[in-house]
Amino acid sequence: MGMKRAWAMRCILLLMLGAAAIAFGGQWPDDVLQKANSFHDIEKQKQDMPTSVKEFPTISGEDAYKLWQGKKAVFLDVRIKAQYDT
């Protein structure tokens, strides 16, 4: 009986944490959503993704490697599947 109760309590805790994350997550700003949608449109039209985004700094490969090695950055690959499956 004790194991079932502990399992139920864990499930309730996870449910509450999930609900709190949804409630307090907030909305993305409109400009961010528009930028994301523009990338999605580019992908749907099978066009090449832009080499840079004006809102983000462009850095050298060496600097990027240093950031990656130091675990101080997250790198997102925005290429469409056809561009990296070749």
Q: Report pLDDT for 69.
A: 92
Residue with tokens 């449109």: 41
Which segments in the chain show pLDDT lower than 50?
Answer: none
Which pTM was predicted? 0.39
What pLDDT is recorded for position 86? 59
Residue 80: count of CB within 10 angstroms of its CB: 17
Q: How many structural domains is the chain composed of?
A: 1
Q: What is the DSSP string of 57-80?
A: ----HHHHHHHHHTT---------
What is the Cα–Cα distance from 29 to 34, expressed in whole angstroms? 9
Angle at 31 between CA 27 and CA 32, to 5 degrees: 60
Q: For residue 34, what pLDDT is reported?
A: 83
- Spacing of C-alpha 76 from chain mean position: 8
Sign of the C-alpha dihedral computed for residues 81, 82, 83 and 85 taken in this order: positive
Residue-level pLDDT at 25: 63
Give the pLDDT score at 4: 79
